[in-house]
C-alpha cells in the first residue's frame, strides 16, 4: 500500500510546482536606473508612491494628479503660486468674463508625434462633458454653453459637442460660458480641460492602459495595474524641461506601507498618511515638505434639524474646541488651526481671522453662548465615516465638546464607510455635527465658496445644505468681477457674509504632506501636488 505516499508526495509536489510556476511570471523589474540620460540635464530616475489610479484619462480620473501632470500638460499650471501660470496656453483673455479666447503655443506634440491643436482640446472637452460617457470630471465643464444639452435629465443627448466651444483656428479656441466667470483661467488647470490625441477616441479603454499625452513624460510600457507605471522623458516636449529622465510611480494599496517603504529607501517620494504625522520629524528630519493647500477641514451641522437652527449654538461648539490641542495630538502640529475658510496660501493672502472670537478656544464664553441659545437636551451625536482615517480626530472632537461645553452625552456615530456617510448627508438623515472637508482643485476662493455654500453647489451636502440668496448674489458678483483682484475682494465679502451665519465650524487649514528619500532633492510641493519637473536625482 504505497499509494498514499505517492499521493501525498504528489500533492506537495504539485503545490510547490504551482508556486514556482506562478513565480516565473513577474520576476525582475526592468528598471535600468536611468543611465541612458540625454546628457543636457541632471538625469536619473526616481520613484513616487501612489495609490491605484481610478483612470488615466484626464476627463475621467478623479485622483492621479501627479501621474496626470507627468503625462499631460494643461493650458495653465500653478506650482506654488496661487495665480495661474501659462503652460501650454499663450494667452487666456476675455472682455466680459463670458466669452473667452484661448491661444495655445504652436508646435507642441503628443507622444505619438501628432500636433496638439485647438481641436485636440475641443474634442477632449466634448468627450468629458458628454453625459453618457459618465466621466467623473464632467461637471468641470458645466458652465460652458451647451453642457445642458449634453447632460439631459433623461434619455440620450441629441448632440455630442459643446456648442459653446468653438475652434477658431489651429491654435485658437473661443469658449462661451453660461454665466460670467472671472475664475475661468483658474479652472483651466483642472484635468477636465486637458487635451486628448485623435487616437484616444478610437478606443478609450485601450487608451487608458497606455495613455498618449502631451506632457513632459511619456508612458514607458503600459500601466501595470496595482504594481506600477513608468514614464520616461519625452524628448520633443516644448514646455519647461524636467530634471529627471524618468519616474516610476509605484502603486500601494496602503499608504502606511508606502511610508515604511520610503524609510527603507525603496520609494523616493510619498504622501505621508495622517497617522504618521507625529513621527514624521523623527523618520524624515530634513526631508519632508508640508504645503498649505487650499483645503479646509470643518465640522458641519444638520441645518435642516430644528435643534441646530441657532447660530449661537454652532458658535458655542466652535469655541469649545481647542484646535491647538487637537492639532498637536492628532496632526503632530503640522496643520494650522483655522480662523476662517481660507488660509494664507489663497489668492490675496487668504482670510485669516474672519471668524473672530468664535474660532478661539474659550470654554466659558462657549457655555454662555450655549445657554443663550437655549441649551442642549439629550445626546449630541458626531457623524463621520469610520475606518478611513477620521476616527481619532472625531473622537477627540467629541471629547472636547463633552468636556468644554458641559454636554454630558456626546457620542460618535461612526458610519460603516464613506458610502453610508454620504448617504446620511444627502438624505438629511444625519442627526448631529458631522465631518466636512473640501480640497479645492484650483487655488481660487471660488472653489470652496461656490461648491459648498451656494444654492447650486455640487458639494453643499458637506456644508449641511446651507443656502442664502445674499451669499449667492455676492458669489455671482465676484464671478463677474472685471479683474482677479476685485474678484478676490468680493469673494472675501461673500465669505464674511457666510461666517455671519456660521453654518460650519472651521477646524484646520489642512496641508499636503510629503516625505522623500535622500536619493532626491529639490522636492517642491504646490497646488498641483509634486512639482515633478523640479525634482533632482542625487
Using the rule CB under 8 A, is 282 a contact of other proteins? Answer: no
Per-position b or e across 317-339, b if 16+ CB within 10 A of its CB: bbbbbbbeebbeebbbebbbbbb
The number of beta carbons lying within 10 Å of the beta carbon of residue 379 is 13
Those residues with Cβ within 8 angstroms of residue 10's Cβ, 6 or more apart along the chain or in another chain? none
Of residues 38, 62, 344, 403, which one binds other proteins by CB under 8 A? 62
Of residues 40, 113, 153, 202, which one binds other proteins by CB under 8 A? 153
Using the rule CB under 8 A, is 473 a contact of other proteins? Answer: no
Residues 183-222, interacting with other proteins (CB under 8 A):
205, 208
Of residues 93, 169, 408, 423, which one binds other proteins by CB under 8 A? 423
Q: How far is the CB of 525 from other proteins (least distance, A)?
A: 21
Using the rule CB under 8 A, is 158 a contact of other proteins? Answer: no
Half-sphere exposure of 49 (CA within 13 A, CB side): 26
Of residues 101, 119, 142, 519, which one binds other proteins by CB under 8 A? 142
Of 41 and 151, nearer to other proteins (C-beta) is 151
* Choices 106-114, 174-182, 253-261, 508-516 (CB under 8 A): range interacting with other proteins: 253-261
Between the CA of residue 125 and those of 58, 63, 280, 332, 418, what are the distances in Å? 10, 18, 41, 42, 30
Residues in the chain: 538
Of 136 and 484, nearer to other proteins (C-beta) is 136
Using the rule CB under 8 A, is 9 a contact of other proteins? Answer: no
Grid coordinates of 264: 527603507
Of residues 309, 419, 482, 483, which one binds other proteins by CB under 8 A? 419
Q: How far is the CB of 43 from other proteins (least distance, A)?
A: 22
Q: How far is the CB of 357 from other proteins (least distance, A)?
A: 29
Q: How far is the CB of 297 from other proteins (least distance, A)?
A: 11
* Choices 83-91, 225-233, 338-346, 352-360 (CB under 8 A): range interacting with other proteins: 225-233
Q: How far apart are CA 212 and CA 110, in angstroms?
A: 7
Using the rule CB under 8 A, is 378 a contact of other proteins? Answer: no
* Choices 3-11, 88-96, 162-170, 188-196 (CB under 8 A): range interacting with other proteins: 3-11
Those residues with Cβ within 8 angstroms of residue 52's Cβ, 6 or more apart along the chain or in another chain? 225, 226, 251, 253
Q: DSSP string of 373-427?
A: TT---S-EEEEEETTSS-HHHHHHHHHHHHHHH--S-EEEEEESSHHHHHHHHHT
Half-sphere exposure of 137 (CA within 13 A, CB side): 26
Residues 88-127, interacting with other proteins (CB under 8 A):
none
Using the rule CB under 8 A, is 27 a contact of other proteins? Answer: yes
Q: Return the SS3 of 356.
A: helix
Q: How far apart are CA 302 and CA 299, in angstroms?
A: 10
φ, ψ for residue 520, nearest 5 deg: -130, 155
Residues near other proteins (CB under 8 A) = 1, 3-4, 7, 11-12, 15-16, 18-20, 22-29, 54-55, 62, 131-136, 138-139, 142, 150-154, 205, 208, 225-227, 250-254, 257-258, 260-261, 263-264, 266, 387, 416-420, 422-423, 426, 437-439, 451, 458-459, 461-462
Amino acid at each position: 500500500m504505497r499509494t498514499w505516499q505517492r499521493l501525498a508526495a504528489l500533492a506537495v509536489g504539485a503545490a510547490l510546482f504551482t508556486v514556482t510556476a506562478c513565480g516565473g511570471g513577474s520576476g525582475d523589474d526592468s528598471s535600468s536606473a536611468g543611465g541612458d540620460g540625454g546628457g543636457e540635464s541632471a538625469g536619473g530616475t526616481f520613484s513616487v508612491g501612489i495609490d491605484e489610479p481610478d483612470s488615466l484619462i484626464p476627463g475621467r480620473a478623479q485622483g492621479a494628479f501627479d501621474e496626470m501632470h507627468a503625462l499631460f500638460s494643461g493650458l495653465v499650471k500653478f506650482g506654488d503660486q496661487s495665480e495661474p501660470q501659462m503652460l501650454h496656453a499663450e494667452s487666456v483673455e476675455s472682455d466680459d468674463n463670458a466669452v473667452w479666447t484661448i491661444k495655445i503655443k504652436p508646435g507642441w506634440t503628443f507622444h505619438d508625434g501628432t500636433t496638439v491643436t485647438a481641436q485636440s482640446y475641443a474634442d477632449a472637452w466634448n468627450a468629458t462633458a458628454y453625459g453618457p460617457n459618465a466621466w467623473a470630471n464632467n461637471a468641470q465643464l458645466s458652465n460652458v454653453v451647451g453642457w445642458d444639452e449634453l447632460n439631459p435629465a433623461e434619455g440620450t443627448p441629441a448632440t455630442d459637442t459643446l456648442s459653446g466651444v468653438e475652434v477658431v483656428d489651429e491654435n485658437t479656441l473661443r469658449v462661451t460660458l453660461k454665466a460670467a466667470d472671472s475664475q475661468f483661467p483658474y479652472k483651466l488647470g483642472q484635468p477636465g480641460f486637458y487635451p486628448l490625441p485623435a487616437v484616444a477616441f478610437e478606443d478609450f479603454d485601450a487608451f487608458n492602459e497606455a495613455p498618449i499625452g502631451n506632457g513632459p513624460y511619456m508612458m514607458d510600457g503600459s500601466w501595470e495595474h496595482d504594481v506600477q507605471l513608468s514614464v520616461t522623458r519625452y524628448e520633443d516636449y516644448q514646455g519647461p524641461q524636467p530634471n529627471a529622465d524618468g519616474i516610476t510611480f509605484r502603486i500601494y494599496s496602503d499608504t502606511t506601507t508606502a511610508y515604511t517603504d520610503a524609510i527603507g529607501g525603496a520609494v523616493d517620494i510619498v504622501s505621508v498618511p495622517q497617522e504618521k504625522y507625529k513621527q514624521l520629524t523623527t523618520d524624515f528630519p530634513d526631508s519632508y515638505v508640508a504645503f498649505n493647500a487650499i483645503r479646509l477641514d470643518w465640522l458641519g451641522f444638520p441645518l435642516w434639524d430644528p435643534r441646530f437652527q441657532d447660530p449661537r449654538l454652532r458658535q458655542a461648539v466652535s469655541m469649545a474646541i481647542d484646535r491647538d490641542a487637537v492639532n498637536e495630538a492628532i496632526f503632530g502640529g503640522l496643520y494650522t488651526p483655522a480662523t476662517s475658510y481660507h488660509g494664507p496660501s489663497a489668492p490675496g493672502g487668504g482670510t485669516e481671522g474672519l471668524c473672530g472670537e468664535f474660532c478661539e478656544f474659550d470654554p466659558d464664553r462657549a457655555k454662555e453662548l450655549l445657554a443663550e441659545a437655549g441649551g442642549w437636551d439629550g445626546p449630541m451625536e458626531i457623524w463621520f465615516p469610520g475606518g478611513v482615517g477620521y476616527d481619532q480626530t472625531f473622537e477627540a472632537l467629541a471629547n472636547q465638546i463633552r468636556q468644554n461645553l458641559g454636554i454630558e452625552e456626546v457620542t460618535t456615530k461612526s458610519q460603516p464607510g464613506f458610502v453610508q456617510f454620504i448617504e446620511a448627508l444627502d438624505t438629511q438623515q444625519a442627526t448631529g455635527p458631522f465631518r466636512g472637508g473640501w480640497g479645492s482643485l484650483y487655488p481660487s476662493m471660488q472653489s470652496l465658496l461656490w461648491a459648498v455654500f451656494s444654492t447650486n453647489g455640487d458639494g453643499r451636502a458637506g456644508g449641511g445644505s446651507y443656502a442664502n440668496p445674499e451669499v449667492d448674489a455676492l458669489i455671482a458678483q465676484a464671478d463677474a468681477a472685471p479683474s482677479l483682484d476685485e474678484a478676490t475682494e468680493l469673494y472675501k465679502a461673500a465669505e464674511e457674509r457666510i461666517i455671519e451665519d456660521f453654518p460650519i465650524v472651521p477646524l484646520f487649514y489642512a496641508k499636503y504632506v510629503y516625505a522623500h528619500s535622500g536619493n532626491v532633492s529639490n522636492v517642491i510641493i504646490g497646488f498641483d501636488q509634486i512639482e515633478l519637473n523640479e525634482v533632482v536625482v542625487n
